[in-house]
A and B are shown apart, each in its own frame.
Chain A
Amino acid sequence: MKNLRAMSKRRRREMQHKEVLRVCSKLLIPLIMLFALYVQFHGDFGPGGGFQAGVIFASAFILYALIFGVDVGMKVLSPGARRFFLAAGLLLYAGVGIAGMLFGGRYLNYSVLLQDPVAGQHLGILLIELGVGVTVAAAMITIFYVFANQDESE
């Protein structure tokens, strides 16, 4: 308590700004992720889809790393998990194409995935957008962490 009073008024104001940033980001980050999921799954009925959702989801992680520090951010999503999700989205996309071939149609033909062609199209598009969203999010997070980690070895 004595230290806080001994500090100059300006330094106290700067520390208060950090409190404001931390509290606001703690409120905002879950909402950002929820909005990203909304955009992902409502891409069929309004503007949206995989790319936009992936980028918005990555921005939640980037905000967390900017405010709380890059090392804490690395613990939230380890490098192994980032690499896994980077590849998993693309494999999901290619896998849906192969599943189309296994069910009797051509590559990336979704109509044969279910009994009803329209429902098959809907399922195929949903899975594909999920794959796109996962890969784009993991790619943006990976690129940001690579740029942010550079200063540590100076």
Chain B
Amino acid sequence: MDQFAGLYNYWIFIVLMMIGFYIVMAQHNLIKKVVGLNIFQVSVFVFYISMSKVEDGSAPIIAEGITVYSNPLPHVLILTAIVVGVATTALALALVVRIRDSYGSIEEDEIEAEERRREKHF
């Protein structure tokens, strides 16, 4: 049981990830799906950054008198990932606005019903 004490925070991040995953799959509203995707992304990033922390380390900015630094490489990767994530969110929201223009609603079941109605007419 002792070794699980250091893994407990990874499990909390996995719980967060699964909450975000459930929101993306099961909620009908498109904006809520985008928010769920955001939660999923943030939990993945926190998981990565938690792997880079070194005990009693400090931020990876070289200064006098500090010997132990946290690993800077995951920070760089996650910095890129955060910016790519916001670009994806912006495009997803633009798509939501376009879907609202075409179908008149942003609920998934109404959109599917409208789609089936239009297919029957062709």
Contact of A46 among B61, B83, B87 (CB under 8 A): B61
- Say yes or no for A51: interface residue by CB 8 A criterion: yes
> What is the CA–CA distance of A117 and B93 in the complex, to the nearest angstrom?
45
Interface residues of chain B, those whose CB is within 8 Å of chain A, are 59, 61, 79, 83, 87, 90, 93-94, 97
Contact partners of A139 in chain B: CB under 8 A: 87
A46 — nearest CB in chain B belongs to which residue? B61
* Inter-chain contacts of B79 with A (CB < 8 A): 51
Chain A residues within an 8 Å CB radius of B90:
143
In the assembled complex, A104 has its CB within 8 A of some CB on chain B: no
Chain A residues closer than 8 Å to B83, beta-carbon distance: 51, 136
CB-CB nearest in chain A for B59? A47
How far, in whole Å, are A22 and B59 apart by their CA atoms in the complex? 39
> Contacts of B94 on A, CB cut-off 8 Å?
146-147
Q: A-side binding surface: helix, strand, loop or mixed?
A: helix
A-B contact pairs, 14 of them (CB 8 A): A45-B61, A46-B61, A47-B59, A47-B61, A51-B79, A51-B83, A136-B83, A139-B87, A143-B90, A146-B94, A147-B93, A147-B94, A147-B97, A150-B97
* Residues of A bordering B, CB below 8 Å: 45-47, 51, 136, 139, 143, 146-147, 150
12 further A-B pairs in the complex, CB-CB below 8 A; given A139-B87, A150-B97: A45-B61, A46-B61, A47-B59, A47-B61, A51-B79, A51-B83, A136-B83, A143-B90, A146-B94, A147-B93, A147-B94, A147-B97
Nearest residue (CB) in A for B87 is A139
CB distance from B72 to the nearest CB of A (A): 12
Question: A75 to B1, alpha carbons, bound, how many Å?
Answer: 64
A133 to B59, CA, bound (A): 23
* Contacting residues, chain B, for A143 (C-beta < 8 A): 90
A35 to B83, CA, bound (A): 20
Q: How far is the CB of B118 from chain A (nearest CB, A)?
A: 24
CB distance from A146 to the nearest CB of B (A): 8
Chain B hits for A47, CB < 8 A: 59, 61
A7 to chain B, nearest CB (A): 37
Residues of A within 8 A of B61 (CB): 45-47
Cα A46 to Cα B93 with chains together (Å) = 34
- Nearest chain-B residue to A44 (Cβ)? B61
Question: In whole angstroms, how far apart are the Cα atoms of A45 and B90 in the complex?
Answer: 31
